[in-house]
Structure 1
Amino acid sequence: MLDLILCVDDDPITLMLCKKVITKASFSNAIITAKNGEEAIQYFDSLLNSENNKIPQLVFLDLNMPVMDGWDFLDTFNTPEYSQVTTKVVVLSSTIDPADHQKSKSYPMVIDFLSKPISNEMLNYLQEKLTK
């Protein structure tokens, strides 16, 4: 079981479903949310500038969001400023564009690209992948 997960999505229903499925599956002790990439970056910035080291072990990231989309989040998160952060990212998107899937592989923190909605099967698969 993970300690903390961050779900980044602009859809409140998707965020609610993520929380519900993750909690029911006992996949994580705590779940926090952000409505876009900018909120997620601000969260990581606040962690890096504080004594609280409760850094999420995993981020579920949507790609298509207002303000700062998933790609902009990944570009920012892939800079030296965040190099000490060991958080893994799972792109969780409704896009079916193979180019998006391929592009996500260029980011070292992205461990998978999965289609919405989140499911128990998906969490079981990720649990196995994260324990290898």
Structure 2
Amino acid sequence: MLKQILCIDDDPITLMLSKKVIAKAGFSELIITAQNGEEALSYFNTLKYSKDQSVEKPQLIFLDLNMPVMGGWEFLDHFITPDYDEFNTINVVVLSSTINPEDLAKAKKYSIIIDFLSKPITLQMLEYLKNKIEL
């Protein structure tokens, strides 16, 4: 079981369902959510500047691509910069409602993306990811 994951998606229903499935599967103790990339970067900035060294960072990010304010690709472009070096070991799973071949090809350019899966999160998907990241 992971200690903490971050789900980034602009759809509150998707976030709610994701949290329920993740909890039911015993996949993570804590599920943090953000509604767009900008909100997620703010969360990481809070972690970065926290004086509390016991603050956990997420071990996995579920990332939607198409969001208002700041989408998934723009989030990734910021997240892989030196500003966020201390978080570059966090694995990212892209969750998209459409699997576009161009997006699949683009995802391969980001070493932190470990998979590209179709929404919604399912128990089978989490079982697959458990094996992939050796939980």
Band of TM-score, shorter chain: over 0.9
Identity of aligned residues (%): 63
**Alignment partner of 1:60: what SS?**
strand
In the TM superposition, residue 122 of structure 1 has moved relative to its aligned partner by: 0.4
1:87 lines up with 2:90 in the alignment: yes
Deviations 1:20-55 (A, max 9, x none): 000000000000100000000000011011134310
Aligned length: 132
Deviations 1:34-84 (A, max 9, x none): 000000000001101113431000000000000000000000001011122
Residue aligning to 2:11: 11
Q: 2:105 aligns with which of 98, 102, 106?
A: 102
TM-score, normalised relative to structure 2: 0.95
Residue aligning to 2:65: 63
Q: 1:114 aligns with which of 106, 109, 117?
A: 117
Gaps of 5+ in 1: none
TM-score, normalised relative to structure 1: 0.97
Residue aligning to 2:78: 76
In the TM superposition, residue 9 of structure 1 has moved relative to its aligned partner by: 0.3
What RMSD over aligned residues (CA atoms) do the two structures have, in Å?
A: 1.0
